[in-house]
Amino acid sequence: MNDDRRAAAARTAAPTLELAAWISGLKYEDIPARTREVVRIAILDTLGCGIYGFGTPWAGMMLQWARAGSSGKGDATVWGEKSPSLRVADAAMVNGSAAHAFELDDYHNAKLHAGAIAVPAALAMGEKLGSDGKAIVTAIAAGYETMIRSSLASNPSATRLRGWHITGIYGPFAAAAACASLMKLDSEQTAWALGLAGTQGAGTWAFNADGTMSKRLHAGKAAHSGVLAAELAAMGYSGPTQIYEFADGGVLKAHSDNSDVSLLTRDLGRVWHTDKNSIKPYSCCGSAHAYIDAALAVRKKIGAPWNAGRRVKVGLSKVVDVQCGFDYAPGSALNAQMSLRYVIAAALADGQVLPPQFTDERMGDPALVKLAAQLECEHDPKLDALYPAHFAGWVAAEKDGQWVREDILNPTGSVDNPVDAKGVTEKIRGILPHAPVDAIAKVALNIENHSVRELLALAAQHTA
């Protein structure tokens, strides 16, 4: 066996250890300029979404729970407040839950939300440690890349069809990697942190049965679990160093029948999957964004106001049908945000899918409910071949006996149709009109020359 083949065999035999060594050794200078830019945008987007999220009842309950076990003094700040009041793991949990609170946070085609986990964990730990901006960028990049690769190795579609919520089961790896980087854990400690993170991973899609709050919990709990994992590992608490690959209980086999462990470390450090992160312009499930783009384009061609009696057809992949194709009935905001029928109806009727579309009054509007029920949804095998590499979809509407159809391969906010730093700034301004958005953006988008505490101090100037 030659040296290259021997090295490849060694990597395949110990992927958890290889990933841990990479995280432990990662330096700011190793990260490409494009990836750094993605991370800076993610900080701004996630922070804005989190501050907005604290206005929701479920984020408020999470904070109330954390406060009940707190002395009021701590090492990390609740976003929007003026001083640290919680331990790092609890701050990461409440901020992560808030960031994921209203389906505005970023996503990746590996079917996960990394921002609501990696960013809260890194900012909380970085605040405690007094980490500089370069260390923060490095940690978040490590967190994103680790979580994304975990899902890709698991096979996102196969894992999702088993009922797992990937953000919950692989999110702890993002927080653990980010904190291990900031805490300067060695490769063995980092492997323990990954092992302890993976054994805590949890989250199923059962929230879709009745639109409950548990989806928001998954991101926050994943952030908490990852912080806990890194802190325990630093104390010498060992975790399984074959958490991905072990035949009896490794996470890849446990979560999927179609995993490929080689994807965990293939081209590690050379190919950055983080670069394909997506920003949400709409307040709903990322898998529905292409359909909203298509519906808005059809609406523009046909004209407003929308004729509620017009026939509308929608093409779905199998995964999107299982996840979002259910019959719509008024219920919780999450129920509507996960309903493909509702968000398409809202796009056609209102010309937007933003927080105003998810008030109790709008979600229960009889005309909108009727329009959602009238959509003719059909399985399109061609979309199965595209998804999830492309979050593709199409919408067609009848006009004068002809069908006007729009096919979207990659939605607005994806790497192929990006929302840039300016666009994210305007997004945050739209949901936080009373916050000093320009000042927050200036610091977040140049975080290497600022501190976490400076950024959070600006966030505290937000007023309702």
Q: What Rg do the C-alpha atoms of the chain give, in angstroms?
A: 22
Provide the pLDDT for residue 463: 67
pLDDT at 68 over 60: yes
Tens digit of pLDDT for each residue in 78-129?
Answer: 999 999 999 999 999 999 999 999 999 999 999 999 999 999 999 999 999 9
pLDDT at 414 over 60: yes
- Across the chain, mean pLDDT equals 96
Tell me the pLDDT band of 464, cut-offs 50, 70 and 90. low
Provide the pLDDT for residue 11: 47
Among the listed residues 70, 69, 123, 73, the one whose alpha carbon sits nearest the alpha carbon of residue 96: 123
Residue 110: both structure tokens together: 């590996």
Provide the pLDDT for residue 9: 44
In percent, the amount of the chain with pLDDT more than 90 equals 95
Average pLDDT over residues 341-352: 98
Tens digit of pLDDT for each residue in 217-257?
Answer: 999 999 999 999 999 999 999 999 999 999 999 999 999 99
Beta sheet of 402-408, edge-to-edge order: 376-379, 312-316, 393-399, 402-408
Tens digit of pLDDT for each residue in 129-168?
Answer: 999 999 999 999 999 999 999 999 999 999 999 999 999 9
Contacts of 237 (CB under 8 A, 6+ apart): 192, 196
Least confident of 3-17, 71-85, 347-361, 426-440: 3-17
User: What DSSP designation does 358 have?
Assistant: G
Q: Which residue has the higher pLDDT, 445 or 73?
A: 445
Question: Quick check: 292 and 320 in contact, CB under 8 A?
Answer: no
Residue 137: both structure tokens together: 């960028």
d(CA 446, CA 441): 8
Average pLDDT over residues 184-189: 98
Average pLDDT over residues 39-47: 98
Looking at residue 194, its amino acid is L
β-strand pairing of 376-379 with 312-316: parallel
pLDDT at 3 over 90: no
Residue with tokens 């929701």: 56
Tens digit of pLDDT for each residue in 425-442?
Answer: 999 999 999 999 999 999
d(CA 149, CA 458): 33
Question: Quick check: 15 and 264 in contact, CB under 8 A?
Answer: yes
Contacts of 403 (CB under 8 A, 6+ apart): 313, 396, 397
> Across the strands, what pairs with 225?
none
Among the listed residues 93, 42, 133, 52, the one whose alpha carbon sits nearest the alpha carbon of residue 459: 52
Q: Going from the N-terminus, what domains does the chain have, and what CATH number goes with each?
A: 3-276 (1.10.4100.10), 286-408 (3.30.1330.120)
Counted residue by residue, the chain has a size of 464
Among the listed residues 335, 327, 330, 336, the one whose alpha carbon sits nearest the alpha carbon of residue 376: 327
Tens digit of pLDDT for each residue in 272-329?
Answer: 999 999 999 999 999 999 999 999 999 999 999 999 899 999 999 999 999 999 999 9
Provide the pLDDT for residue 8: 47
d(CA 290, CA 310): 21
DSSP track, 154-220: H-HHHHHHTTB-HHHHHHHHHHHHHHHHHHT--HHHHHHHHHHHHTT---BGGGGGTT-THHHHHHH
